[in-house]
A and B are shown apart, each in its own frame.
Chain A
Amino acid sequence: EAQVTQNPRYLITVTGKKLTVTCSQNMNHEYMSWYRQDPGLGLRQIYYSMNVEVTDKGDVPEGYKVSRKEKRNFPLILESPSPNQTSLYFCAAGGLGEQYFGPGTRLTVT
């Protein structure tokens, strides 16, 4: 079964405490991407990766880092989280014509 998995699904943390949200896909897709979704702002792309060791900024990359050391994994790193990073995060993987989204990670930064 084609799958994109994210962990954790829910996280409450405090300002400044580094965290990583993992994303993994079993479909051998080259393209992976991270989004955040906020009420009234819709889905906004944070970073994307066209292949291993190739990453690029989306629309809202500030405060985030990513890495793509292997094809199946694309972790999202928040070095020093702040309350304005409280959001619903989605990872996605796909080919040229479609993307499959993970189930989402709801992050709260207090």
Chain B
Amino acid sequence: GQNIDQPTEMTATEGAIVQINCTYQTSGFNGLFWYQQHAGEAPTFLSYNVLDGLEEKGRFSSFLSRSKGYSYLLLKELQMKDSASYLCAVRENNQGGKLIFGQGTELSVKP
């Protein structure tokens, strides 16, 4: 079956580093996405990993281990505006465009 797991909620302090984990079990794999979604808004693209390793983009980094079915999103130098929901999604290989989302991690950044 298909399953993508993320923690439901996390809290962190402004200026700190936070790691949001995502584990997946899907019938195929052709890439993993991270999106940010502020309340009442559309998701916005953060990162895409298809090979193992770390992808860095400014304050955000994303890591993938295909053998472990595991990814994380690392946010550095947290700012108040980073308070949002973070969505992990997997593209299944054998379906081409089929995309499965986790339920999202609600991150609260405190002063």
> Footprint of B on A, CB under 8 Å?
31, 33, 35, 40-45, 48-50, 56, 58-59, 90, 94, 96-104
Contacts and interface: CB of A to CB of B under 8 A. Distances in A.
Interface in B79-111: 87, 89, 95-104
B31 to A, nearest CB: 7
B87 A42 contact: yes
A45 B100 CA distance: 7
Contact of B96 (A56, A59, A99): A56
B101 A101 contact: no
Contacts of A104: 41-42
B33 interface: yes
30 contacts: A31-B97, A33-B99, A42-B87, A42-B101, A42-B102, A42-B103, A42-B104, A43-B43, A43-B87, A43-B101, A45-B98, A45-B100, A45-B101, A48-B97, A48-B98, A48-B99, A50-B96, A58-B98, A58-B99, A59-B98, A59-B100, A90-B43, A96-B31, A97-B31, A99-B33, A99-B45, A99-B99, A101-B42, A101-B43, A104-B41
A110 to B, nearest CB: 22
A48 B95 CA distance: 10
Nearest to B49: A97
B70 interface: no
B48 A40 contact: no
B10 to A, nearest CB: 16
6 A-B pairs closest in CB distance: A42-B103, A101-B42, A43-B101, A48-B97, A97-B48, A98-B45
A58 B41 CA distance: 22
Nearest to B103: A42
